[in-house]
Amino acid sequence: LNLRNNEGQTAFWIAVDYNRGNIANFLFLNGADPNISDHYGDSPLHTNLPTDMTDEMIILMIENIDVNHVNRDGSTLLRNAIIYKREVLVKYLLKRGADPIIPDRFDYTALHLAILHRLSEQIIIDIIEAATPKPIHLVLQNPMTTRFYACLLKQLLEILPRDLVPKIMALSCDHIFINSRRNNGQTALSVAVHSNRGDIVQILLKNGADPTIADDHRDTPLHSILLTQTDDSILSMTHNIDVNHRYNDGSTLFHCAIKCSREVVVMNMLKRGANPSIANADGNTALHLAILHNLSSETIISIFEEATPRPADIVGQNGMRDPSVYLNWKLSDAPLDPNVNRQSTSEIINFRNKLCQTALFLAFTRDRLDIAQILMDRGADPNIPDNRGKYWTPETAPGDTS
């Protein structure tokens, strides 16, 4: 039964390859070895999973096989199970230790493939969990020792609430896998967006997927979402997602919604607690961006009002900060702290980006005189110059303070 032809293929190998699952089942039950590879190292179940072979039968066949064996074309059993949508088999392989990080020859990981082949939400979650390192894995990283790990854990438990410690430790486990890219630069999130899988988009975002990572065509998942989806779809995808989380380029979901002029989404995010005072990598706050991208005066007023501290916020604020650090980007390279309430209207409204431009300066340069008047009525200073010493006023052309 296990004799091989000149290419190293057994009768079982050929039965599987030709989709003769009933014959393969018969051969296996009569003693055929299902794990014998051909001369190229390709095992039969790495090449095909016939539809008339049940998951239970396949599981019996692979009990003693290396679940991470890779064929010459980059295929693993996990990859094949995903492609053939054998979810029971996928779960079994993950429990056996199948590595979802192993890419195929096209740089697809198990996560990319599961999304592309429209496997269930639960399978996507199972793959993410199988690929995510646990805090205890830190022990295996040099130079951390078991003793050091135990000491670190003990100290955290002494100074922090017990339920917070696991979350702190989990921060050490990064999201490299979930943001891994194919040979064309696409992340799993990109695949989910282009496959119109809004349910999976939300799962990926909640598990650390970065929507600002661009593919080789410089397209980002977030811009694809914001440019192609309806407001309701966007709000559904980003439900329960931290709208103030800063991604690699310094932007937040709130910033991106503004840049794509999705005003309904912007207003919804404000209601959900989006912080207009957070500055991106260019030093632009939501107020700067809303003016740059020509949002309506109503939306700009809402952004400004949400950023304006209320008397109760000021009274309840712990620790007084020198307000000058918020007036000029050059005085502090740090982004605006989203947890600090500003202590007066002018500190927000006159904040300068990396080019030392205020929101008012941008309003004048964009010929948004209605916005300029609104800002000045609320304390914006028209005499603050940019980094070239230029400033705008309603009455004059650009001036020079030098």
- Asked whether the predicted pLDDT for residue 397 surpasses 60, the reply is no
DSSP string, 252-310: -HHHHHHHTT-HHHHHHHHHTT--TT---TTS--HHHHHHHTT--HHHHHHHHHHHSPP
| Average pLDDT of the segment spanning 239-266 | 91
| pLDDT tens-digit series, residues 19-62 | 999 999 999 999 999 999 999 889 999 889 999 899 999 999 99
Q: What confidence tier does 336 reach under pLDDT thresholds 50, 70, 90?
A: very low
Q: Whole-number mean pLDDT of the chain? A: 83
Are the C-beta atoms of residues 44 and 16 closer than 8 Å to each other? yes
Q: Which of 173-177, 233-237, 341-345 has the highest mean pLDDT?
A: 233-237
Is pLDDT of 147 > 60? no
Predicted local distance difference test score (pLDDT) of residue 253? 92
Superfamily of domain 257-402: Ankyrin repeat-containing domain (1.25.40.20)
130-144: average pLDDT: 58
Give the model's pLDDT for residue 359: 96
What is this structure's pTM?
0.69
Q: How many CB atoms lie within 10 A of CB 37?
A: 19
Read off the pLDDT of residues 75-106 as tens digits, 9 standing for 90 and up: 899 999 999 999 999 999 999 999 999 999 89
Q: How far apart, in Å, are the Cα atoms of 67 and each of 14, 240, 283, 388?
A: 21, 36, 49, 63
Q: Name the DSSP class of 391.
A: E
Question: Residues spanned by CATH 1.25.40.20 within the chain?
Answer: 257-402
CB 383 within 8 A of CB 391: yes
pLDDT tens sequence across 285-309: 999 999 999 999 999 999 999 987 6
pLDDT at 351 over 50: yes
DSSP H/E element including 390: strand 390-391
CA of 374: how far to CAs of 25, 79, 368, 402, in Å?
77, 58, 10, 28
